[in-house]
Structures are given as C-alpha cells and as structure tokens.
Structure 1
Amino acid sequence: MKKIFEIPLYPYARSADQDAPAPVRHKVVVVGAGPIGLAAGIDLAQQGIEVLILDDNDKVSFGSRAVCYAKRPLEILDRLGCGKRMVEKGVEWNVGKVFFDDRLVYEFNLLPEEGHQFPAFINLQQYYFEEYMVDRIRELQKEGAPIEIRGRNKVAAVADHGDHVAIEVDTPEGPYNLTADWLIACDGANSSIRSMMGLDFVGRVFEDNFLISDIIMEADFPTERWFWFDPPFNRGQSALLHKQPDNVWRIDLQLGWDIDKEREKRPENVIPRLKAMLGEDVEFELEWISIYTFQCRRMEKFRHGRVIFAGDAAHQVSPFGARGANSGLQDTDNLCWKLKLVMDGKAPESLLDSYDFERIHGADENILNSTRSTDFITPKSEISRIFRDAVLDLSEHFEFARPMVNSGRLSVPCTYDGSPLNSADALLGGPARTRPGSPCPDAPLGDEFLLPKLGGRFTLLTIDADAPDVIEEDGIEVTRLALSVKDDPTLALKERYLGDAESAVYLIRPDQHVAARRPSFDENIFRAAIRRATGKE
C-alpha cells in the first residue's frame, strides 16, 4: 500500500489560464503548498478573497519535517477548520524531560493551568498536516469558496509592476503567464521567489549538524519530550526523542560540524547510532533520514511591494523550540486580515507595513531564543561547556538553576510590543499577559471557550462593562461580546483579562491580538483605537 506522501493530492491538470489569449489576472497568488502556503490560502478563501495556490510538487512533504505544533498555532488552525482534526490524530504532550549523561536532571510542564481548549503541544507528521489542509481546501471549494490549488505548476519568474505582479509558470505541458494583484511567497527556506528578486537572508549559520531519523517501532516510552546532553550513546553531543502517531518516533542526534553528510545518511551508518541509543535488541524500521544545519536568519524586510514573504521563505530558525512552522502560521494569521482590508479599500496599503514590523519583531524574538538555545546545546568553547555542564548538574538538585537549562525554549505566541497598531494601555492593574499587542489567551465559558467566540473579526470584548452591540467606524464593523466574571466559576476570565480591575473593555483584532483595553467604554477613544488598529492613525 502506498504511503500518504507517495500519493498525488493535487495532480497536474491543464487550467483555462494556459489557453487564455492574454495572462489571466488573479486577486492573490500563493506560491508554495506547504503548511504556510495552505494556511494563507484557506484564510483568504474563508474571507471571500479569490486565491490561487501554485506548487511545483503535487503531493504532501516526505518525512515528518515540522513535527511539533504549539497551542497558539492550533488555535489559529481551529479557526481555519483544521485544528480539531490535527489534535485528534496528533500525540498530545505537556511534559518535557532533560537528561545529562544518563541522569534525569529536570522536567517541566508547558501548560500548568487549566481552562484551555487545546493542549500545549501536539506531535504530528507534516504530511498529515498538509493532507488535512488540502482536504479543507476541497471542503471550501464544495462550499463555493474562491480557492484553487495547482500541482506541478512551478513559478519560473516574477516581476512586480507596482499595481500587479507578473508571473511565469512552468508546467509539464509548457509555460504560461498570469498576473496577480498580490503574491505571497511561502516557498520555503530555499525560496526561488526570494532568489528571483535578488533578496537574501541576514543572520547566522551555526557550525553544527543534526541527523533526523523517523523510525517505526513499538515502544512503551511515555508521551513526553526527552532531551539528552552528553548521553552515553552520543558522547559530547546531544539527542532528542519525540513520539508521533502510527508508532513513528522522531530522533535527532547531534553529529558535529566536519562531517560527510551523504555518508552519515546511509542506513548502514544510521542504524548503529540508533541501536546505541535504543538498545541492540530493539526492532525498528527507518522511514525518513535527513541532516540539517542550525540557521538563525531572516530577510531584512518581509514585504517588497506587492510580493510578501511568509514562513521559512522569510525567516529560518534552528528546529529546537518548534519555532519554524509555528511562527509561519502566525505570519499568515497576521497578514491575511490586513490584506483583506486593503483589498476591500477599508484600510490604506500602509497597513501592510505593520505586517513587516510585527512579524519581524516575532522573527527576531524567535531568532534570539533559538540562538540562545543553540549556544547552550552546542557550546563553542571549553569555558562555555564547563558553564553549561555546571548548570545541568545544579538543576538536578536546585530549582534556581532550572530556568537556565536551555534544551530549546519552546514556541510561545508573540506579543507585538511597540506595534504602531496598539493603543495606549489604560487598564490599571490589568494582567500583563493581555496588554495591547498580546494574543488573547483562551478561557472556559461554561461548556464553550472564549477564542472561538472571538472568531476572525474585530470584536469589542466587555467584561462587566456596558458598550454598544455594534460599532462601525469608517467601514470597519466591530461586534460586542459581553461577558461577566459572575458566570466564570473557574476565575480564569478574571485572572487572564481583569487582574485587579473591576471591569474591562478590550478591542480585539481579527487575529485575536489585543489592540486596546480600558476599564470602561468611551466611544471617541475606541473609535480612535479602531482607526489606529487599521492603519488610519
């Protein structure tokens, strides 16, 4: 039986565009049908924007690749219609353990509080993720949504002409041309769009290599993230073990810098390394082998006229910390509602510059954390190694040392501090976690949860405060969601949104980030906040 990544999901078929007498113009063209490109296409289509996804492949990715998905991206995917299916298939985990040599020195819980619809993390192979998103596209097409995906359509050239982008596409039946109002480049770390435009990354490439192995085996290891420093089976290096669905296990082994990559990927060299880790008698089957190099880099700008970059095409981080696909999903979550407003004439084109500001802020935060993780995992001097090992020894017995252990600071949602879309914080005593720029934390509401009620629109969230049910400001409609802490026996709503305040009014953006908050509703102030949040002030 063929495996999922061997089956074409969107096989090549000749399109009407190839027979048109002149290039057909599309609203948005997304290049790349990986997780980020598919998310962008679904998000735009759900908002009624015509979108065409082009990919030079016709099937899902081979190998697990992106494997860890954090709570915030799962919440985003839930709004896109894929989150629950991913959780049902994925392996949930909250606990991580850190080993030094063969000793457990530290463990942590990534979701110590109750009252969230989604777990801290799930592990799920990328090919399942992509399959579910393509299935979602098919659902949208049946509902009449304006979305199309074309396999084996490779973009060969792009040119930004100021008011549109010209695109040349290669297919098995020859090239054709089309144009787009906007192009979103989600074509990965080796982005051909970036190369065509003469753009590059800035940042660091670390002198180290890691072997990734997906193996199929039956094992009774718990559903946890296990990370080793200097283990007996990989002396002087590190290792990582993750459980995935279908008895697939992801193993990362640090190899060092000066290696023969092709030689190290050969099964006859991989299998002895894995047996040293798992035991000589453990039976397993190799599914996928790859080698990666740590990179912490990004483009200087993500928006270049009418061409906008997202995901790995815009930024790269080392995989420890699960910041790649998770941050890419936050890219599209940030971008698509802004592009919708601009295309509808309800916001100035300059609103898209806030995508650059906010997601570069997010990329820099990820690069900083990823760089620190890499420096801890792979110390570059003997002094650094002595310090690292001392921290690990201390963490086994003393709590103060445990926050210093860095086996990959795991992905957390980005707060857009300093964003030009934020209004001043006027909620005295309000929780820091829901200040302007912050993503909204979930909270239980009886048998339901808060975030699905916020949806993907501008919302005025009132907690024990009065306000109009609807506000319209310069074409932007904001609907009210009225809540009370009296209806919240868990006190999660109070803890996460009120703090020491008695009441609160929040302006929530379509990407569920806080734009403004005050203790009560003031019409003039909130109208100004709406204008600011849409780039008009």
Structure 2
Amino acid sequence: MNAPLIDRYPLAFKLYPYARSADQDAPRPVRHPVVIVGGGPIGLALAMDLGQRGTPALVLDDHEGVGQGSRAICFAKRTLEIMHRLGAGAQMLDKGVVWQKGRVFRDKDEVFNFDLLPEEGHRCPAFINLSQIHFEKYQMDAIDGLDAPIEVRGKNRVDAVTEKDGYVLLDVMTPDGPYQIEADYLVACDGARSPLRDMLGLGFEGRVFEDNFLIADVKMAADFPTERWFWFEPWFKSGDSALLHKQPDGIWRIDFQLGWNIDREKEMKEENIRARVDQMLGADVEYELDWCSIYTFQCRRMERFRHGRVLFAGDAAHQVSPFGARGANSGVQDADNLGWKLHAVLQGAPDALLDSYDTERVLAADENILNSTRATDFLTPKTANSKIFRNAVLDLAKDNAFARPMINSGRLSVPSVYDGSPLNGVDALDGPPRTRPGAPCPDAPFGDGYLLDVLDGEFSVLAIGTDAPEVPGINSITIPDPSAELAERYLGDADGAVYLIRPDQHVVARWASAAPLDIQAALNIATGGAA
C-alpha cells in the first residue's frame, strides 16, 4: 500500500491548497494533453508557456506551495526575459535586488572586478537576487491572473507511471485517496531526486565533488555594496573560500567552503554557524540567521531527456553546482525550449520535433556541467599541483590582465547557443556572431519599448533595413530605421537583414534579403520537417 501524504517541510506560501478535482470522481481515467509533475520554478514556467498558447497544462505537486528557505537566489537576464514574456517579470524586477558587478578577493586583497552587462539597451539587468520563495509566488500570481487552461493541484503525489500505447497512465495519491489520470505527454520537473526518474529506472550519471559548503542566509543591516563578492583563502578564516550576496528584505546570502571530511550535525549547530559568521562580520554586528543548509557539489545529467512520451526538465534532468547560478536558470530555459514544441506537436507537427528538445538541451546541460566542473575544480583543488596552479593564477591576476580570465569563482549563467541544432536554417548573412542561427535574440530598444516585446512567442520574421517577405500566418516585423543598439546586434556591417525567429526567441535563419520560399523552407526545418 502506498504511504499517506505528509508535508515535507513548512510552507512559506500555501500557493495551491488541496481541493478535490472532478478527475477523482470520473468513472475512468481522464486524459490530459500535458501533465507536469513538480510545481517549482520549472514546472510552473512550462505550464505558463503552454497555457498562454492555449494548450491545457495540469501540474501535480505533492505539497501545497513553496517551502521555507531561499534556495536558488540568482536569476539571470535570459530567465527574466522569459518571465517577462510569461507575465511575471515585472513583479520579479520590482522585488529583486539588481546587480551586475562583482569583485574577487584573495585574503584581504582585491584581485579583480567585473561587469556582466556593460552595454546599454536592455530591459532586463544581468541578474537579480530574489528568493525562490518569491519567484514561485510571482509565477502563481501570474497564473491566477491568466485566462488560460492551467490547473495546479496540491497534495497530488504521483506514485506510479505506466507507459501505454499512445499515452502515459499515472497513479496519483491525495488526502482523499488514490485516483488515475492519463497524459498524452508527461513532463518530470520533480527535482534532483526525481521520483519519476526512479520509477522509470533511468540513470543519473556524473560527478560528486569532495567538498561541502555551508549556506547561511543572514538578516542584517549592512553597508556592503550590491555586488557579488567572492574570497579565496579569506582573511576571516571562516572557510577555505566565501561568497557574499545581497537579497531583498535585508537578507544576505553567505557561503562558506568547509572541506570534505566534516561532521555535518556539528557544523549545523547554531553556535557553530554563528562562530563562522562572527569571524566574517565581526562579533559586534547584529544579525539573525534566516535559513541555513550544507550542500555538496554535484554535476550530473541523464543520458537522454526524452523517453517516449515522458520528458525530463530542470534538476530532474541535470544538476550542477550552485556557483554560477546555472541550476534554476538552465531549467527555466528547458521549459522555454519545450513549451512551444509540445504545443506544436499537439497541434499536428511531427512528433520528432520533440527529439530536438533532447538534442538542444543536452547540449546546454553539457555546457553548464563543463563550466560548473571547471569552476569547482578551481575552487577546490584536489592535488598539490592544481593548488599551486590556482594560487599562481591568483598571484598573477592582480597586476596582469591576461591571468584574470583564468580565475573561476563560478562562471555565471548565460543562455546556450544551439550550434548544430537540426532546427537551424541557413546563415546567409555576414552578420554578428551573437545573432547567428541557434543563438538567443539579444534585446534592443525598439520604438517606445524593446525588441523582445514584439517577438511574442510565435514564429516571427524580422526585417531590418529591408522589406519583409509576406508569409501567411507568420508574425512580420519591419524595422526600416533601427536603433544603434539594434543595428549593432543584428546588422553588424550589413545594410539590411531578414531573420526568422523561433517562438522561444532563438534565431532559425538569417539572410541579407529573403523571398517567401526561403522563409517557408526554414520554417519547415524548424518545425520538424525537411527542407
């Protein structure tokens, strides 16, 4: 017999309280187009995307809201652009702490500093710091305000998954007992310990790094600037390295590197956490401990993210170390990639289009894992020679610019470019590399707003300094007189350009000029057909 439902942890917000659904009283299992398991940032983002396209999305979660503890806090520019398109970005920007600069120290000395978004002409900043608690709340606020076929069921735990011919059967447990539903497609967004992955007997391979880090979210009044500060071998000796980030509401995130062979129970005692914080801040600084945890770096992924009618996204599919803010941000980009493809397949596009989700997001996961692994190896050298190299780079970097790119305190999240994707069309423009086929569209001023506002989640033809070919059913945007930023990002030295843009705002193809047949051929490729 399946175990009864219990709360896993105290809730910060009860976002989707349990309510009995009509499916529980149906004489046979009800079929849904898409069932998403997991009501975290990734599952909710996918539901928002599908629902706004008109595809019904059912989210099942085994609790009733978001749990206490800030967990993910750094949300990148691309994530904010996606959230803006989905209707939650404005709240997140209003609440979040905006930052784009960072400093790297060794002992007491600043080694170098950086600016993640030195250019103008973007709606969204490089990063905001915002507790995952509020990120999920604003997603649910947006869902509640949408006239869209989205349903989120709390305290609905999936206990079994059975793949059938043409659908997936789910056994679901609730406080009122079990029931069954069917799904044309099932998406697992149920986290790094994914029960669905285990139910299907699928592996999760990779590397666990032999080190531990203490997170301490501290509430205090402090005059540190709104920047990312990272210390190698910090003078305050609270850990082998340390990280400081400002969050909203007077909360500061502090990470301490503890080493591998530690007594976790001892390290999590309040007096020992406070001893480390006191060494860093000074014993006379008043603060409250808001949330604390110890984590171990892991860089792992599934071999494939698609298994028939079951697809995996976010931490259920791939996991990276938190330095670099690649976890939640890459997961939201999974949802952005998958949403329009699921909708298109349910509307009649070839089922093989979903294979490109696996191709593109495995590529992105490998890129994130590579960067995360390099960062972790630099942070936690495991041999005498690697530590000598790390320290030599730090010594050189203060006075020698060539050494600074080698310092890796966590390469920060950027969206992946899908080079080599089967959905990419031709590149018939000698244009900027940043807008080549497969690349995400950079924002730029356009009219009274921004370019990404008009790339609104459908296929779009973007013509700059030239005439747009007329293609029935395709959003067409003509920009005869682009802003300087838009021209620099999309034209380069060209006089004019035509772009075909995907619903997730990645470039399909580009030309100096194009005929309708050029657009149709590229569109056919991008929707899973053949040229």
Contact 1:61 1:126 in 2 (8 A): no
Residue 228 of structure 1 is matched in structure 2 by: 231
Residue 320 of structure 2 is matched in structure 1 by: 317
TM-score in terms of structure 1 length: 0.95
Contact 1:443 1:449 in 2 (8 A): yes
The Cα of 1:424 is off from its aligned counterpart by: 2.4
> What are the residue-to-residue correspondences of 1:16-27 with 2, within 5 Å?
16-27=22-33
Which of 59, 69, 75 aligns to 1:63? It is 69
> Percent same amino acid among aligned pairs?
63
Deviations along 1:44-73, one digit per CA (max 9) or x if unpaired, are 110111111110111213211110011011
Residue 189 of structure 1 is matched in structure 2 by: 192
> What are the residue-to-residue correspondences of 1:109-508 with 2, within 5 Å?
109-140=115-146, 143=147, 145-234=148-237, 237-345=240-348, 347-428=349-430, 430-469=431-470, 471-472=471-472, 477-484=473-480, 486-488=481-483, 491-508=484-501
The Cα of 1:235 is off from its aligned counterpart by: 6.4
> Residues of 2 paired with 1:257 and 1:152: CA distance?
37
Residue identity opposite 1:336 in structure 2: G
Contact 2:189 2:313 in 1 (8 A): yes
> Residues of 2 paired with 1:446 and 1:181: CA distance?
42
> Residues of 2 paired with 1:387 and 1:468: CA distance?
56
Q: For 1:78, what is the secondary structure of its paired residue?
A: helix
Contact 1:465 1:521 in 2 (8 A): no
Q: For 2:236, what is the secondary structure of its paired residue?
A: helix
The Cα of 1:361 is off from its aligned counterpart by: 0.3
The Cα of 1:16 is off from its aligned counterpart by: 1.3
Contact 2:239 2:257 in 1 (8 A): no
Residue 79 of structure 2 is matched in structure 1 by: 73
Deviations along 1:436-491, one digit per CA (max 9) or x if unpaired, are 0000000012421000111100000001111234x14xxxx31211013x342xx1
Deviations along 1:382-413, one digit per CA (max 9) or x if unpaired, are 11111111111211111111111110000011
Contact 2:465 2:482 in 1 (8 A): no
> Residues of 1 paired with 2:137 and 2:446: CA distance?
32
Which of 67, 77, 83 aligns to 2:89? It is 83
Residue 20 of structure 2 is matched in structure 1 by: 14
Structure 1 residues 453 and 4, CA gap change in structure 2 (3 angstroms) = farther
Deviations along 1:316-346, one digit per CA (max 9) or x if unpaired, are 000000000000010010001011110000x
Deviations along 1:117-158, one digit per CA (max 9) or x if unpaired, are 000000000000011111111112xx2x11111111111011
The Cα of 1:4 is off from its aligned counterpart by: 9.9
Q: For 1:481, what is the secondary structure of its paired residue?
A: strand
> Residues of 1 paired with 2:503 and 2:515: CA distance?
21
Residue 4 of structure 2 is matched in structure 1 by: none
> Residues of 1 paired with 2:13 and 2:509: CA distance?
47
> Residues of 1 paired with 2:151 and 2:238: CA distance?
50
Structure 1 residues 322 and 524, CA gap change in structure 2 (3 angstroms) = same
The Cα of 1:263 is off from its aligned counterpart by: 2.2
> Residues of 1 paired with 2:411 and 2:191: CA distance?
23
Residue identity opposite 1:65 in structure 2: R
Residue identity opposite 1:290 in structure 2: S
The Cα of 1:5 is off from its aligned counterpart by: 3.9
> Residues of 1 paired with 2:526 and 2:482: CA distance?
30
> Residues of 1 paired with 2:487 and 2:395: CA distance?
40
Residue 517 of structure 2 is matched in structure 1 by: 524
Q: What runs of 5+ residues in structure 2 fail to find an aligned partner?
A: 1-8
Contact 2:33 2:184 in 1 (8 A): yes
The Cα of 1:516 is off from its aligned counterpart by: 0.2
Contact 2:12 2:67 in 1 (8 A): no
Q: For 1:384, what is the secondary structure of its paired residue?
A: helix
Contact 1:210 1:292 in 2 (8 A): yes
Structure 1 residues 400 and 438, CA gap change in structure 2 (3 angstroms) = same
> Residues of 1 paired with 2:11 and 2:85: CA distance?
26
The Cα of 1:262 is off from its aligned counterpart by: 2.4
Residue identity opposite 1:46 in structure 2: Q
Q: For 2:466, what is the secondary structure of its paired residue?
A: coil
Structure 1 residues 359 and 66, CA gap change in structure 2 (3 angstroms) = same
Range that drifts further, 417-426 or 3-12: 3-12
> Residues of 2 paired with 1:151 and 1:273: CA distance?
38
Q: For 2:16, what is the secondary structure of its paired residue?
A: coil
Residue 32 of structure 1 is matched in structure 2 by: 38
Residue 106 of structure 1 is matched in structure 2 by: 112
Q: For 2:123, what is the secondary structure of its paired residue?
A: coil
Structure 1 residues 487 and 437, CA gap change in structure 2 (3 angstroms) = closer
Range that drifts further, 431-440 or 5-14: 5-14
Contact 1:296 1:367 in 2 (8 A): yes
Contact 2:463 2:478 in 1 (8 A): yes
CA RMSD of aligned residues (A): 1.3
> Residues of 1 paired with 2:243 and 2:482: CA distance?
44
The Cα of 1:523 is off from its aligned counterpart by: 2.4
> Residues of 2 paired with 1:258 and 1:64: CA distance?
26
The Cα of 1:374 is off from its aligned counterpart by: 0.4
The Cα of 1:26 is off from its aligned counterpart by: 1.1
> Residues of 2 paired with 1:162 and 1:413: CA distance?
36
> Residues of 2 paired with 1:405 and 1:525: CA distance?
45
Contact 1:4 1:127 in 2 (8 A): no
The Cα of 1:524 is off from its aligned counterpart by: 2.2
> Residues of 1 paired with 2:103 and 2:436: CA distance?
32
Residue identity opposite 2:516 in structure 1: E
TM-score in terms of structure 2 length: 0.97
Q: For 1:6, what is the secondary structure of its paired residue?
A: strand
> Residues of 1 paired with 2:296 and 2:476: CA distance?
48
Contact 1:162 1:306 in 2 (8 A): no
Q: How many pairs align?
A: 522
Contact 1:162 1:305 in 2 (8 A): no
Q: For 1:334, what is the secondary structure of its paired residue?
A: helix
Q: For 1:246, what is the secondary structure of its paired residue?
A: coil
> Residues of 1 paired with 2:23 and 2:340: CA distance?
27
